[in-house]
Amino acid sequence: MSRFCLLYLVVMTVGCSGTRPSPIGVTGGRLSACPASPNCVSSQSPDSKHAVEPLRYKGTAEQAKGMLIEALLGMKRVRIVAAEERYLHAEFTSALFRFVDDVEFLLDDGAKTIHVRSASRVGYSDLGVNRKRVEAIRSRFETLVSPFP
């Protein structure tokens, strides 16, 4: 048996999901900060290597949350694990090795903004996957938001 096949069998047996990080969620009105590693992006990050723009919306927070959920559910291998009044937490699972990334959203209705944080559970580098995912979510979300005045 080749080494790759053996590695693949081990990975598929034990999985690469990692455990859900702690803390996750909202603390002091903010999403958790990104670690020093480059496998996380956040719209609340003060440094450019982790920073992404938040999502913007018009209308109510409830409408925005509904459109965000619709945008997420149209994507592959996503599971919404928490949907609170102003907070959403989704898990995205990679196709091959079943890596799980946590994507969180915090709605700020006063600023008509949705803050976002996307982070890998395991590994050091994500090769830009989290940043690309946030931009894909943004694109899907903006398509849904554009008809609103």
Q: Is residue 90 part of a domain?
A: yes
Q: Is residue 113 part of a domain?
A: yes
State the pLDDT at residue 145.
82
Q: How many domains does the chain have?
A: 1
**Sign of the dihedral through C-alpha 72, 73, 78, 81:** positive
Q: Is residue 143 part of a domain?
A: yes
Residue 68 structural domain: 52-149
First to last CA, the chain: 60
| pLDDT tens per residue across span 135-146 | 999 999 999 987
| Contact between residue 62 and residue 86 where contact means Cβ atoms under 8 Å apart | no
pLDDT of residue 70 exceeding 60, the answer is yes
State the pLDDT at residue 47.
95
Tokens of residue 104, six digits:
């969180």
Side chain identity, residue 58: K
Q: How far is Cα 22 from Cα 112, in angstroms, rounded to an integer?
A: 28
The CATH number linked to 106 is 3.30.310.80
| pLDDT tens per residue across span 2-37 | 544 333 433 333 344 456 665 689 999 999 999 999
Mean predicted confidence (pLDDT) in 79-89: 97
Residue-averaged pLDDT of the chain = 87
pLDDT band at 96 (very low <50, low <70, confident <90, very high): confident
Q: Is residue 140 part of a domain?
A: yes
- Residue 65, judged by CB atoms within 10 A of its CB (0-12, 13-18, 19+), counts as buried
